[in-house]
Amino acid sequence: MQLVLHTGVHFTEDERLLKCLLRNQDDFAKTGVKVPGPSTYRNLFRDTLNAMHKAEPSEMARDVLLDAILDDGTASRVILSDANFFRSPATALQEGVLYPAAAVRMLRMAQLFPEDEIRIFMAIRNPASLVPVLYEKAADKTSAAFWGERGPEDLRWSETIGQLREAAPGIPITLWCNEDAPLIWAQIIREMAGLAPETKIKGGFDLLQTIMSEEGMKRFRGYLDTHPDMSEAQKRRVITAFLDKYALEEEIEEELDMPGWTEELVERMTAIYDADVEVIRAMPGVTLIAP
């Protein structure tokens, strides 16, 4: 069994990816790919992973989980999506570390499915825009609990990804920057489903539609209709051109409300994030989807 885990992160695409996958579930099923509804597995996996903190899973745990997911059906590849695989937003940043529970959670997943092929798919987001939201949701906002001895400029996604790779080296990771998602949305969906690069899918421009004006989308689709043989790279250049003219500024501009933060700090954090993405790109076992 191939088990594809979309692990968020929080506050990236707000369930749009799962909705797009579900729109394509009938077509995917023809190729052996199952996209179960989230109610069949989210609480079940959460309870199982939490219980493993106290006891080893039973020998039947894998079969019980798969029976619940497959519902007497069969599949060669199953796609599961839950931004809470690595715990809730309340504990997503602790002592200056992004998703400190991620490594142990994936170690437990590997223990639950020792003979299966697990793959992680995950979006990352500029900490300069993500941290204020996580701070608002944090269970403990004290400096000691939230930042520890670190500060905003110490945040590194490469640290979290490195911990994941060390804990579960047999689980490959596919990442993308949330900021790039409108340009690569269709590719993300296809790679999660294990489809060929040019395979047609439903909802390939779902995310783009949320940040482009109605007129822009109408003109964009018209352009695609008159240029049916464009490659994915060409489509991305066209998307960029249309966004330059028709982007909804209120949807792409982010209000950052974090006590004590300045514009200069945000700029430095963004530069650090950009450099960290290049570090991640070079990590073994990690694939970065980029425009």
Whether the Cβ atoms of residue 93 and residue 159 lie closer than 8 Å to each other? no
With CA atoms as reference, report the closest residue to 123 among 74, 154, 160, 77.
160
Please tell me the predicted confidence (pLDDT) of residue 132: 96
What are φ and ψ of residue 213, in 5° steps? Answer: -65, 160
**Burial class (CB within 10 angstroms; exposed 0-12, middle 13-18, buried 19+) of 126:** buried
The model's pTM = 0.93
d(CA 26, CA 2): 18
- At 72, list the tokens: 């007497």
Per-residue pLDDT of the chain (291 residues; tens, 9 = 90+): 999 999 999 999 889 999 999 999 999 999 999 999 999 999 999 999 999 988 888 889 999 999 999 987 889 999 999 999 999 999 999 999 999 999 999 999 999 999 999 999 999 999 999 999 999 999 999 999 999 999 999 999 999 999 999 999 999 999 999 999 999 999 999 999 999 988 999 999 999 999 999 999 999 999 999 998 888 889 999 999 999 999 998 887 777 889 899 999 999 999 999 999 999 999 999 999 999
Please tell me the predicted confidence (pLDDT) of residue 41: 94
Please tell me the predicted confidence (pLDDT) of residue 3: 97
SS3 124: strand
Distance of CA 174 to the CA centre of its chain: 9
Domains, in order of start, for the chain: 2-211+248-289 (3.40.50)
d(CA 1, CA 253): 41
